[in-house]
Amino acid sequence: MSEAALGLRNIGRTFIQGDRKLEVLKGADMTLNRGEIVALVGPSGAGKSTLLYIAGLLEAADDGEIAIAGEICDAGNDASRTILRRKHLGFVYQFHHLLPEFSALENVVLPQLIAGQSKRSATARSRELLEGLGLAERLEHRPARLSGGEQQRVAIARALANQPAVLLADEPTGNLDPETADCVMNQLTQEVRGRGLAALVATHNMALAGRMDRILRLEDGRLIEG
């Protein structure tokens, strides 16, 4: 826990809308430690998704510094950002974005092959992850044959496939019924704690947020504890 999995320092992001400047992030700071799961809350339009995209190196900040697993991100170098993202980060979205022509197993294998793993080791790890998430009987099913909760569990397995230091989730249960959402969140939390990674989860569900280790509230472009 001594080395932060993710650190954001003085992150600023401004969007230009016509002749207006919209400051979405104004010196946002946070530290995410290994083994903890943190809720990111705030009203719609507050900038939660923008913060996740910046933390996930999918979007550049205008100001500030990002450190992932002790490595400082070079904001101006796309190649180094891609390497850091592939090496340390996993993503779970509100919509699962599974590849429809591939089975559940293949959807989890593919990112590992892209990262240079052998097909044999990637398949073995994918089986372990999917079986651990209760999908042993669904390995060969394509997404169309899976329920919403099953699809989201495949998406979680895919996010964990390359053993990231940080898991970033944007409303991962937003499209699920309460019972399924509870099940998916339990499994996500179990995976985070069991594997010693860190997770930042954007959510509107305050009951869900209350079950996490900490709550970070995004208000007026800054992050506030509690």
Q: Which tens digit of pLDDT belongs to each residue from 180-222?
A: 788 778 877 887 888 888 999 998 888 888 889 999 999 988 9
Answer whether residue 56 is part of any domain: yes
pLDDT band at 3 (very low <50, low <70, confident <90, very high): low
In this structure, of 21-35, 62-76, 121-135, the range with the lowest mean pLDDT score is 62-76
Give mean pLDDT, residues 89-104: 88
pLDDT of residue 148: 85
Residue 126 covered by a domain = no
Residues 107-131 have pLDDT tens digits of 999 999 988 899 999 999 999 999 9
pLDDT band at 76 (very low <50, low <70, confident <90, very high): low
Q: What is the pLDDT of residue 2?
A: 43
Which residue did the predictor score with more confidence, 101 or 174?
101
| Number of domains the chain contains | 1
Q: What is the mean pLDDT of residues 22-37?
A: 91
The pLDDT, as a whole number, for residue 81 is 83
What is the CATH number for 60? 3.40.50.300
Residue 25 forms part of a structural domain: yes
Is there a contact between 28 and 223 (Cβ–Cβ < 8 Å)? Answer: yes
**Count of CB atoms situated within 10 Å of the CB of 2:** 5
pLDDT digits (tens, 9 = 90+) for 126-173: 999 999 888 999 999 999 999 888 998 899 899 989 889 999 998 887
Is 31 contained in some domain?
A: yes
- The answer to whether residue 199 sits within a structural domain is yes
